């Protein structure tokens, strides 16, 4: 079997390391020829995953065709805003029997599609979703982790589970792909909200209240957008929410905290050194979905007002806390 990983951020690099260490022929596509050569030579992605040694067997390339040629499984690990364009770009390079794994968390702004649905639409290939409480900083150092692999065809999900599971990275099959992906996208919005409250000086009690509010909103929106309510209470929902909304590893929480401390939105994004804050476009997309579907998503409204409408963060969180 061959696995091709598209995207060499922290998460894509980590997943390439996981499959390569399992003995699977793995190729990692990197945007930028010089950077690809540097990672191939140094055996380290210094920008996104410093200190983690990559397996010698892992092939790193800047050539998409080389990465994807004869790959039975293709892991898509690029930011949500680039997903549709890149999927369309590599569609003709895929093997006829290739299965795609979406490791991207987000929601399309206009169509409310999850990333797996976008990839499937652009490529015509079956696409499973991989989502869960998965900090790359921990998975890449072999700390015990669980994740969800979701597709309506459980047999297809189990095929991917077999390909990526290790003793420390355990994948579980699930059939609610839409629900799993919606949880993965919405928890990033919640994490920005909890980060903002931390930045304003509020403590763990407030964080817990906001997490509970966010979980309730997540559970309500899932069936409205095609998922199953029960998914919110599993590993892909509350599990991922705990890991993201309460951890300093979370770039969404860190971004929110810096905004709460008084940093501008643009400055907070810039301070993360090029790492994508998926909760910002997710807040835009869920705000649009709430308007289109008549959903009451107070947490999304607060984050959207701060990040898009320049609302005072203290006032936005104060109004939000009145809903708890």
pLDDT of residue 214: 97
Global pTM value: 0.96
Residue of 25, 107, 120 lying closest to 72 (CA atoms)? 25
- Do 188 and 167 sit in the same domain of this protein? no
- Do 196 and 120 sit in the same domain of this protein? no
Cα 205 to Cα 27, 214, 324, distances in angstroms: 45, 14, 12
Reported confidence tier of residue 275, pLDDT bands at 50, 70, 90: confident
Burial class (CB in 10 A: 0-12, 13-18, 19+), 319: middle
pLDDT of residue 265: 95
Annotated catalytic residue, options 2, 105, 159, 187: 187
Tally of structural domains, the chain: 2
Helix (H, G, I), strand (E, B) or coil at 319: helix
> Which tens digits make up the pLDDT trace of 131-176?
999 999 999 999 999 999 999 999 999 999 999 999 999 999 999 9
Question: Token pair of 288, please?
Answer: 């649009």
Determine the Cα–Cα distance for residues 278 and 186; give it in Å rounded to an integer: 10
Strands (E), 65-168: 73-76, 99-102, 127-131, 145-150
CATH code of the domain covering residue 280: 1.10.1040.10
Residue of 181, 72, 73, 174 lying closest to 118 (CA atoms)? 181
Domain boundary among 151, 175, 199: 175
CATH code of the domain covering residue 82: 3.40.50.720
- Do 199 and 151 sit in the same domain of this protein? no
* 6 within 8 A of 36, measured Cβ to Cβ: no
Determine the Cα–Cα distance for residues 75 and 131; give it in Å rounded to an integer: 12
Is 254's pLDDT higher than 90? yes
Is 33 tagged catalytic?
no
- Do 132 and 208 sit in the same domain of this protein? no
> Which tens digits make up the pLDDT trace of 283-313?
999 999 999 999 999 999 999 999 999 999 9
Which residues span the domain enclosing 41? 2-175
Please give the mean pLDDT across all residues of the chain: 96
Q: What is the DSSP letter of 52?
A: P
> Which tens digits make up the pLDDT trace of 278-289?
999 999 999 999
Domain boundary among 159, 175, 191: 175
> Which tens digits make up the pLDDT trace of 22-44?
999 999 999 999 999 999 999 99
pLDDT of residue 94: 98
Domain boundary among 175, 196, 229: 175
Who contacts 170 (Cβ-Cβ below 8 Å, separation ≥6)? 144, 145, 146, 147
pLDDT of residue 175: 98
- Do 64 and 150 sit in the same domain of this protein? yes
Count helices and strands in the chain by DSSP H and E runs: 15, 8
């Amino acid at each position: 079997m061959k696995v091709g990983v598209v995207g060499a951020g922290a998460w894509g690099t980590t997943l390439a390391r996981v499959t390569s260490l399992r003995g699977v022929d793995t190729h990692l596509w990197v945007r930028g020829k010089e950077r690809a050569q540097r990672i191939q030579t140094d055996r380290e992605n210094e920008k996104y995953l410093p200190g983690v040694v990559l397996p010698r067997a892992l092939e790193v390339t800047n050539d998409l065709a080389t990465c994807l040629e004869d790959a039975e499984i293709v892991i898509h690990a690029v930011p949500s805003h680039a997903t549709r364009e890149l999927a369309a770009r590599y569609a003709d390079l895929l093997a006829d029997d290739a299965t795609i794994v979406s490791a991207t968390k987000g929601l399309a702004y206009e169509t409310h599609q999850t990333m797996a649905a976008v990839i499937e639409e652009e490529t015509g290939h079956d696409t499973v979703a991989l989502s869960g409480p998965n900090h790359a900083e921990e998975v890449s150092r072999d700390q015990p982790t669980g994740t969800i692999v979701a597709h309506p065809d459980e047999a297809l999900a189990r095929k991917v589970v077999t390909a990526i599971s290790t003793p420390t990275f355990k994948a579980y099959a699930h059939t609610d792909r839409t629900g799993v992906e919606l949880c993965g996208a919405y928890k990033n919005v919640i994490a920005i909200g909890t980060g903002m409250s931390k930045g304003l000086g509020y403590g763990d009690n407030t964080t817990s209240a906001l997490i509970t509010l966010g979980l309730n909103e997540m559970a309500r929106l899932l069936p409205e957008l095609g998922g199953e309510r029960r998914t919110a209470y599993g590993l892909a929902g509350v599990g991922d929410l705990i890991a993201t909304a309460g951890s300093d590893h979370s770039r969404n929480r860190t971004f929110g905290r810096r905004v709460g401390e008084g940093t501008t939105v643009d400055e907070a994004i810039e301070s993360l050194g090029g790492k994508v804050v998926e909760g910002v476009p997710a807040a835009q997309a869920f705000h649009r979905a709430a308007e289109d579907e008549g959903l009451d998503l107070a947490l999304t409204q607060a984050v959207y007002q701060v990040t898009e409408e320049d609302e005072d963060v203290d006032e936005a969180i104060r109004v939000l806390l009145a809903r708890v």
